[in-house]
């Protein structure tokens, strides 16, 4: 059996190492591929969201390269994502592909779920070996996300523009070529060392921008048009509220704990919604925006895919958060046809506005009516 799986940001790094260590054969779809997105757009229902189109395109690419088994992580709840597993399978079958299908529900995933669903491709690996590989995959995911967070802190203060991006480009090239956890972690350590050697200007006090929104868009630089890099190159320090490791902490690590810790974002959102769930990660968008607006953020940007119902619901609350806490909030909606030039212009204008606001030390005034 030869496995393929869709991309979501840097998750392929830890997943690829997991498969390598267990000796599972796989086809890695092209990373950051416009061709994959266009394949997904051409074969998706018109009003499906950007993550669905990107996932479908990646799976088509993997099957075209010889995979005979598709791995997809679905979920449940009010977001349409809960139906994507079945819909992806139906579309691929209607296109003439024949394959084995592994649909793993990530709503509250456990080690037992991983072993049961991946059983056919584990090649007889014992429980201890599988448990070790799962543990290392989760650990590697946290290490990789920590590396990207380090890059965000350095990029906005670097003396020679582009050094951080070059260091991360080298890391991504090494990670893609790495085999197993040992080589992958070696690439992470090498990149951390490279970032620590980049000259920065400690006198700079960059504006701080928090990112909230739908997890796929926030985690995937290709679909969000490299928002973190663009803002960093404009001199802004970026804080991403919804990384894949944060998601893993909430849905995997939390499921293993006998006593569930309180979720600060969900609690903060109660001030506006009086519910702990509105589908997708909409409640986290609201809660994280509320927390960030009290956490010394100069501004907040909501990133979400076109037609995303939970994020549209969350957006209706952000104007009130903006008004109450006097923190500028901008919503950017993305789709496969988003024009990058116009997107960059909006980012530049937002960063310039935050810099001028800080320099003038004037409170931001914006009525709820104007926000809508």
Q: Residue count of the chain, please give it.
A: 372
Of 93, 111, 135, the one marking the end of a domain is: 135
Q: Which residues make beta-bridge pairs with 101?
A: 70
Pair (216, 354) in one structural domain: yes
Tell whether 130 and 246 lie within a shared domain. Answer: no
Task: Output the pLDDT for position 371.
Answer: 44
Does residue 188 belong to any structural domain of this protein? no
**Domain total of the chain:** 2
Classify residue 267: in a domain, yes or no. Answer: yes
Q: Assess if residue 179 is contained within a domain.
A: no
CATH of the domain at 100: 3.40.50
Question: Where a domain ends, among 108, 135, 162?
Answer: 135
- Residues 119, 211: one domain? no
Instruction: Pick the last residue of a domain from 135, 153, 171.
Output: 135
Same domain membership, residue 243 and residue 114: no
Same domain, 246 and 356: yes
Q: What is the structure's pLDDT at 251? A: 66
Q: Residue 35 — φ and ψ, nearest 5°?
A: -65, -40
Assess if residue 99 is contained within a domain.
yes
Residue 329 to residue 350: CA distance in whole angstroms: 9
Give pLDDT, residue 370: 44
Which pTM does this prediction carry? 0.91
User: What band does 79 get if pLDDT is binned at 50, 70 and 90?
Assistant: confident
Mean pLDDT of 168-190: 96
Residue 356 lies in a domain: yes
- pLDDT of 369 reads 47
Closest to 275 measured CA to CA, from 78, 82, 107: 78
- Asked, for residue 295, whether it belongs to a domain, the answer is yes
User: Are residues 111 and 239 both part of a single domain?
Assistant: no
pLDDT at 372 over 60: no
List pLDDT tens digits, range 188-203. 999 999 999 999 999 9
Q: CATH number of the domain that 309 lies in? A: 3.40.50.11900
> What does the longest C-alpha to C-alpha distance in the chain come to?
65
Which structural domain, as residue segments, surrounds residue 213?
206-371
Whether residues 230 and 105 share a domain: the answer is no
158 belongs to a structural domain = no
Q: How many helices (H) and strands (E) does the chain have?
A: 17, 8
**pLDDT score of 347 more than 50:** yes
Write down the pLDDT at residue 186: 97
């Amino acid at each position: 059996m030869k496995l393929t799986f869709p991309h979501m940001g840097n998750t392929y790094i830890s997943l690829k190492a997991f498969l390598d260590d267990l000796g599972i054969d796989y086809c890695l779809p092209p990373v950051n591929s416009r061709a994959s997105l266009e394949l997904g757009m051409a074969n998706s229902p018109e009003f499906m969201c950007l993550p669905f189109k990107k996932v479908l395109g990646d799976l088509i690419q993997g099957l075209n390269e010889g995979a005979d088994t598709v791995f997809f992580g679905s979920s449940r709840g009010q977001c349409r994502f809960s139906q994507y597993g079945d819909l992806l399978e139906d579309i691929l079958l209607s296109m003439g592909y024949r394959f084995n299908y592994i649909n793993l529900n990530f709503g509250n995933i456990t080690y037992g779920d991983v072993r049961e669903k991946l059983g056919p491709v584990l090649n007889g690996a014992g429980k201890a070996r599988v448990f070790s590989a799962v543990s290392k995959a989760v650990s590697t995911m946290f290490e990789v996300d920590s590396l990207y967070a380090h890059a965000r802190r350095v990029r906005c203060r670097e003396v020679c523009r582009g050094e951080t991006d070059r260091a991360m480009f080298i890391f991504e090239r090494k990670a893609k070529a790495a085999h197993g956890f040992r080589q992958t972690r070696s690439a992470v350590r090498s990149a951390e060392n490279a970032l620590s050697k980049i000259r920065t200007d400690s006198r700079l006090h960059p504006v701080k921008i928090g990112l909230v929104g739908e997890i796929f868009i926030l985690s995937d630089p290709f679909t969000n048009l490299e928002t973190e890099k663009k803002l960093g190159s404009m001199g802004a320090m970026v804080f991403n509220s919804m990384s894949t490791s944060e998601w893993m902490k909430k849905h995997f690590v939390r499921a293993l704990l006998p006593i569930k810790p309180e979720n600060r974002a969900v609690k903060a959102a109660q001030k506006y919604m009086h519910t702990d769930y509105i589908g997708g990660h909409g409640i986290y968008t609201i809660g994280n925006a509320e927390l960030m607006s009290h956490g010394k953020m100069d501004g907040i940007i909501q990133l979400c895919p076109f037609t995303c119902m939970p994020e549209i619901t969350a957006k209706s609350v952000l104007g009130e958060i903006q008004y109450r806490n006097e923190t500028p909030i901008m919503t950017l909606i993305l789709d496969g046809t988003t024009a990058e030039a116009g997107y960059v212009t909006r980012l530049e204008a937002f960063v310039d506005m935050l810099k001028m606001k800080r320099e003038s030390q004037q409170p931001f005034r914006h009525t709820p009516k104007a926000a809508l």
